[in-house]
């Protein structure tokens, strides 16, 4: 029998009214359809840890798709079905999402060595999960709203700050869980339990990873590299020999660790300045991990991870381009803004953050941050229309003039509109003259 406990009070204290409202409505809808609804997994774990979560995962004992259709209709939300899996994603007007799954007996396969036991369908759903800390469920039906169901001692493990698998074949079933164990351990400051650690070591020794698709490995690695501070998790992966088991070139030495710490600082700096600007944080770390790899090795690793072409391009050619830039700027620390601009124009932010992460030179860092913060936004005050008005004949010369004005502005040689117009006149009269060479 599972441990149960009323956690209504905890929910009222820790969840926001809109989230509580959604949960109550979900429970009402389920009850009307004669189903049971549970909020499960990371959501409940994070509730216990007092951490905020965005994802709401609901498991329906019954037809999850029928529930999702009805619930989305009531909440005026959009819904997507995955018939084959009996799952649905509900998206609300504000962009927040709820995942819905169906718990039905016929869907589950037991690992061969385990005896078949009768379980309620919610218990079966939870039994398939990765770690005990992710197996808590809270009933949402009105008559049991807030009733916590703990089948696998999740509360104890959360209290003891321990990551434990549910059974000894867990990593045989799905070796990507090893990456997840490390990610949760480091994110929450927990420790992987002794038995579980033994199972990880065994899985690495037996090379369970060989048969895993690159796509799945990469998915988990990427999630680690997107963590707030991925460095301890990367060190832990290295400790388990997990990285070299993916590719022998992924050896982590002191220098790499130092560069990764520097990456964290650079990335935090950027995130603070540009809160909502999306970029591939994981890519910056990946490029740092790949630093100095020969082209063939890089290609092998990209093959292993099954990186899609555009990501591959950045990890390979994009990284080399960034290295070339670094090499050049280290030799030319006193460059003009216009030169810096021309060199960095077209660089992706990931490439620039990579350079900032791997260089020891404060001058280089300052150059790049100046480009990111100001130079890349500089534009001439005048437009083609203005050139027309001062009598310059339209043609390819326009873009040349405007480009030269941009460079003059970057180097602070023009300030006002009048400066720019005068520059344009002189340039148009004598494109080969000293203005151009200045
Ligand atoms: P995060 O905060 O990173 O989103 P999460 O716990 O919500 O963490 P997800 O990756 O979103 O993790 O997965 C949702 C739930 O699905 C988890 O709580 C976990 O129990 C389950 N899960 C995910 N991946 C696996 C897996 N490989 N094996 C078993 N269960 C998994």
201 Cα–ligand 1 center, Å? 22
Mutate to test the pocket of ligand 1, among 44, 85, 111, 134 (most ligand atoms within 8 A of CB): 134
Query: What pLDDT was estimated at residue 321?
Result: 97
Spatial contact of 364 and 337, defined as CB atoms under 8 Å apart: no
Q: Which residues contact 88 (CB under 8 A, 6 or more apart)?
A: 64, 65, 67, 68, 69, 72, 79, 80, 81, 82, 99, 100
Domains of the chain (ranges plus CATH)?
A: 3-160 (3.30.460.10), 161-246 (1.10.110.30), 255-376 (1.10.3090.10), 384-437 (no CATH)
The pair of structure tokens assigned to 245 is 């088991």
Q: Residue written as tokens 């200045």?
A: 438
The pLDDT, as a whole number, for residue 31 is 97
Q: How far is the CA of 213 from the centre of ligand 1 (A)?
A: 18
The answer, yes or no, to whether any atom of ligand 1 lies below 6 A from the CB of 183, is no
Whole-number pLDDT of residue 109? 54
More confident residue, 402 or 85: 402
Q: Is the dihedral of CA 99, 103, 107, 110 positive or negative?
A: positive
pLDDT bracket for residue 208 (50, 70, 90): confident
Q: Give me the pLDDT at residue 107, please.
A: 44
Average pLDDT, the chain: 93
* Residue 44 scores a pLDDT above 80: yes
Ligand 1 within 6 A of CB of 42:
yes
Testing ligand 1's pocket by substitution, the residue of 89, 130, 172, 179 carrying the most ligand atoms inside 8 A of its CB is 130
């Amino acid at each position: 029998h599972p441990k149960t406990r009323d956690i209504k009070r905890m929910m009222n204290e820790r969840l926001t009214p809109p989230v509580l409202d959604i949960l109550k409505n979900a429970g009402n809808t389920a009850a009307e359809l004669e189903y049971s609804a549970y909020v499960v997994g990371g959501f409940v774990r994070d509730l216990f840890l007092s951490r905020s979560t965005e994802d709401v995962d609901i498991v329906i004992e019954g037809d999850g798709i029928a529930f999702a259709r009805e619930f989305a209709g009531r909440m005026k939300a959009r819904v997507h079905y995955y018939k084959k899996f009996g799952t649905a994603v509900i998206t609300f007007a504000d962009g927040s999402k709820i995942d819905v799954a169906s718990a039905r007996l016929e869907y589950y396969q037991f690992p061969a060595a385990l005896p078949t036991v009768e379980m309620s369908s919610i218990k079966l759903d939870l039994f398939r999960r990765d770690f005990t800390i992710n197996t808590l469920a809270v009933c949402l039906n009105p008559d049991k709203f807030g009733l916590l169901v703990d089948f696998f001692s999740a509360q104890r493990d959360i209290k003891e700050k321990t990551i434990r698998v549910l059974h000894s074949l867990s990593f045989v079933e799905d070796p990507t869980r090893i990456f997840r164990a490390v990610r949760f351990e480091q994110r929450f400051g927990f420790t992987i339990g002794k038995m579980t650690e033994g199972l990880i070591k065994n899985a690495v020794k037996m090379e369970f990873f060989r048969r895993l698709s690159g796509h799945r490995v990469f998915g988990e690695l990427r999630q680690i590299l997107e963590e707030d501070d991925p460095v301890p998790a990367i060190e832990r992966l290295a400790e388990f020999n997990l990285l070299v088991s993916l590719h022998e070139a992924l050896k982590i030495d002191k220098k790499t660790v130092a560069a990764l710490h520097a990456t964290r600082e650079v990335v935090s700096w950027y995130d603070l300045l540009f809160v909502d600007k999306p970029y591939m944080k994981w890519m910056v770390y990946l490029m740092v991990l790949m630093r100095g790899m020969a082209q063939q090795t890089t290609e092998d690793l990209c093959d292993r991870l099954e990186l899609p072409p555009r990501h591959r391009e950045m990890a390979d050619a994009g990284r080399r381009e960034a290295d070339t830039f670094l090499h050049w700027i280290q030799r030319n620390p006193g460059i003009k803004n216009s030169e810096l601009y021309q060199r960095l124009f077209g660089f992706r932010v990931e490439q620039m953050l990579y350079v900032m992460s791997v260089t020891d030179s404060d001058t280089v860092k300052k150059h790049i941050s100046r480009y990111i913060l100001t130079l890349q936004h500089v534009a001439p005050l005048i437009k083609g229309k203005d050139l027309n008005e001062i009598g310059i004949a339209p043609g390819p010369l326009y873009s040349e003039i405007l480009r030269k004005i941009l460079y003059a502005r970057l180097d602070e040689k023009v300030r006002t509109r009048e400066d720019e117009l005068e520059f344009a006149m002189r340039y148009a009269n004598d494109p080969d003259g000293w203005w151009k060479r200045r």
